[in-house]
Amino acid sequence: MKNILLFMSILFFASCGSDNGATETTDLNEAPTTPSLLNPTNNLLCISSELTFEWAASTDAEGDAINYYYEVATDNMFNNVVKSGTVQGTSKLLQLEKETAYYWRVQATDSKGDTSDFSDIWNLYTENIPLENHLPFMPELISPSMKSTVTSNTISLTWNCADIDNDALIYNVFLGKDESFEEVATGISNTFLEVSLDNNTVYSWKVEAIDSKNGKTIGQIWNFTVNF
C-alpha cells in the first residue's frame, strides 16, 4: 500500500572539463504509520451496542495532518460493511445492532493522500436483545363467589386468567379446609375443576397460573361454605 513518489533531479557539474559527475537524490513522502487498535479490545463479547471505537494515533514522517478511515463489517472479508467514514480524531462513536458479530479496522491517510496499510482486524459481539416475559395477571374468581354457600357435594371451581403475551397458561389448583391447602390439580389447562366436598365445611382455594416461560402468578385465597 505504500506509494512512494520519486522525484529525481539530476545536476550536472562541469569542472575543468575533465570530470562529468551525476548525483541522484530521492525526495519521497512517506505514508503515515499503520494505526493500532485500542478499544473495544479484540474478541470482546457481549458489549453494549453503542460503542466508542478508539485507535492509537499514527505518525507521519513529514508531520502531515492525518485522517483515519474506519470500517465496521459483519464479516471479516469486509464484504458487508455496515459503518464506515473518515475522521480526524482517533475515536468514533457508533450505534450498532444488538446480537451481532462485527469486524473492524482503521486506515490512516496523510494530507498528501498517502495511505497506510489497514490495521489488524478486530472483532466484537454485541449484547443480546433481552427476552421479555409478562407474568400472568392475577387469576379472577368466577365461581363459587366469595364467601357464598354451596348446597351440593360437588362443585365446579371456576376462574379466569389472562396473559399480556398471550402465553398458553396452565394452572395448579389448591383446595383446603382451615387454610391448609392440598394440591388438587397440577398443570391443567382448563379454567375449571370439578371437586367433591364435605358437608358443613368452610373451604379455601387458590389457583396458580403459570405461563410458558416459567412465570407464575399465585392467586388470592377464595373461600366458600358447604351446607347441603
Partner 1 sequence: MESHDEERMMYKNLEYGKEEENYSVKNLNTALERQELAGAFLFTIPGPKMIWQFGELGYEISIDENGRTGKKPVLWEYLDNANRKHIYDTWSTLIALKNKYDVFNTEDFSLNTSKLQKSITLKDASMDVIIIGNFDIVDETMAINFTKTGTWFEYFSGEELNISETQQSLLLEPGEYRIYTSEKIYDPRGGTQNDDSDNDGVNDLDDQCPNTIEGATVDENGCAIFTLDKANFSVKSTSETCPGESNGTLSINSIRNSKFSLLLNEQIYDFRTSLSIENLAPGTYEFCIYTEEDASFEQCYEFTVDAATTVVAKTTNKIEGQSVIANISIIRGTAPYTIYINNTKAKETNDLNFNIETHAGDAISIETAADCEGKFEELVTLQTKVTAYPNPAKDNLILSFENNISSSIKISIIDTTGKTIDQKEKQIINGSLSIDISQLENGFYFIRTEGVSTNTIKILKQ
Residues of the shown chain interacting with partner 1 in the complex, contacts defined by CB under 8 A: 43, 45-47, 98-101, 123, 125, 127-135, 137-140, 160-162, 164, 213-218, 220
Distances (CA, A) of 122 to 80, 96, 132, 215: 15, 15, 31, 40
Choice between 62 and 127, CB closer to partner 1: 127
Neighbours of 213 (CB within 10 A): 13
Choice between 39 and 49, CB closer to partner 1: 49
Task: State in angstroms the smallest separation of the CB of 216 from partner 1.
Answer: 4
Task: State in angstroms the smallest separation of the CB of 127 from partner 1.
Answer: 4
CB 73 within 8 A of CB 44: no
Task: State in angstroms the smallest separation of the CB of 145 from partner 1.
Answer: 12
Task: State in angstroms the smallest separation of the CB of 33 from partner 1.
Answer: 29
3-state SS class at 113: coil
Going by the DSSP 8-state scheme, the letter that residue 106 receives in this structure is E
Choice between 63 and 130, CB closer to partner 1: 130
Furthest-apart CA atoms within the chain: distance in Å: 142
* Cα–Cα distance for residue pair 102/76, rounded to 1 Å: 8
Choice between 193 and 207, CB closer to partner 1: 207
Choice between 47 and 197, CB closer to partner 1: 47
Distances (CA, A) of 1 to 19, 52, 102, 115: 41, 27, 24, 7
Task: State in angstroms the smallest separation of the CB of 217 from partner 1.
Answer: 5
Cα 193 from chain centre: 43
Choice between 69 and 78, CB closer to partner 1: 78
* Cα–Cα distance for residue pair 105/123, rounded to 1 Å: 9
Task: State in angstroms the smallest separation of the CB of 210 from partner 1.
Answer: 8
Angle, CA of 65, 71 and 73, to the nearest 5°: 175
